[in-house]
Structure 1
Amino acid sequence: MPVIHIETFKAADDKKEHLVAEITKLFCNNMNLRPEQVHVVFDEYEPNNWATGGKLWSKM
């Protein structure tokens, strides 16, 4: 049973629902799994808690 972790900025539920449906479909089709075997976990962050290239995203 795969557990897929997604680290991202906060997103709207409708966007996450679509993403979860697509990821689940891909895993089921490619790994011969049932949807209830696929778990997706979102770790959401505020832009001031994420940096790239030495700069906070909240300052970009």
Structure 2
Amino acid sequence: MQRKANKASRVAKGQELEVEHLVEVTEIDPEQARTLLRKHGADWPKLKDEAEALKKED
């Protein structure tokens, strides 16, 4: 049985809660949070550092 490959451009349904949490904690927008989660997975210290860097750029 073949499984469909996950598209890298989408966050898995279970990760949507992580997106919401990251947005709430770091005050970045949801699209930025999804991008960071795709890039770093559940490495929360790295996610928070990257989110802070994004906020400084804006």
* TM-score bracket for the superposition, by shorter chain length: 0.3 to 0.5
RCO higher in structure (CA 8 A, sep ≥6): 1
- Answer with 1 or 2: which has the greater Rg: 1
- Larger proportion of helix: 2
More strand by percentage? 1
TM-score scaled to structure 2, two decimals?
Answer: 0.37
